[in-house]
Amino acid sequence: MAEAERIIDTPDIPDAEGAEGAEAQQPAEGTAAPAADASDGEGTAADGVGGGKGRRRILVLFGVAVFAYLLDLISKMIVVAKLEHQEPIEIFGDWLKFDAIRNAGAAFGFGEAFTIIFTFIAAAVIVVIARLARKLYSLPWAIALGLLLGGALGNLTDRIFRAPGVFEGAVVDFIAPAHFAVFNLADSAIVCGGILIVILSFKGLDPDGTVHKD
């Protein structure tokens, strides 16, 4: 009987050791978080760097757009004030002149019967570029889209505010190379932006900064 009482009163040694192991595995108060949390923190920091880079690219896009737009706007104001209804100014003889005209069509004088359609196309381009800017992480794409945006805004301003009426306004063109259509700085920005986009597409560079090869 005494031996039975001794066995019953003896604690279960393996359970006791398991309890002590469990207590050892519990982190003490005030200690650092597990390694998994640290890795999560690193991912958040990386996301923050990517977000900052994206914001810088957006600033480049709108900076280029504002520069192209203001350059076009100021040049047209000078042309209207000083050159319209005047004799063309020769820059390089007959090869290049400044000759102010009003263009109701698209870039380089095409499609004068579709002024309203071109106006809405320009507005749609601006909306698409603004939406694409949220996923922009490529500097070359930021410059290209900035040129497109600035040029589209420049000609859209003429469509809205110049005669003969809202959405039907004629664009001011004045750069007149020999044997070529007359155009303006907004047209130049659009063409340069388009050429840059074609080059980037051939190189496989996407607006989000990834590179793919077909």
Which residues form the catalytic set?
Answer: 173, 187
Record the tokens describing residue 59, joined without a space.
Answer: 């600033």
**CA distances (Å), 202 to each of 57, 61, 103, 185, 195, in order?**
21, 21, 33, 26, 11
| Neighbouring residues of 75: CB distance < 8 A, sequence distance ≥ 6 | 174, 184, 185
User: Residue for token digits 């597409």?
Assistant: 201
Amino acid found at 10: T
Please give the backbone phi and psi of residue 213, each rounded to the nearest 5 degrees, phi first: -125, 125
Query: Mapping DSSP to helix (H, G, I), strand (E, B) and coil, where does residue 1 land?
Result: coil
What does DSSP assign to residue 10? Answer: S
Q: What's the rounded Cα separation, in Å, for the pair 123 and 188? A: 18
**Integer Rg of the chain from CA:** 33
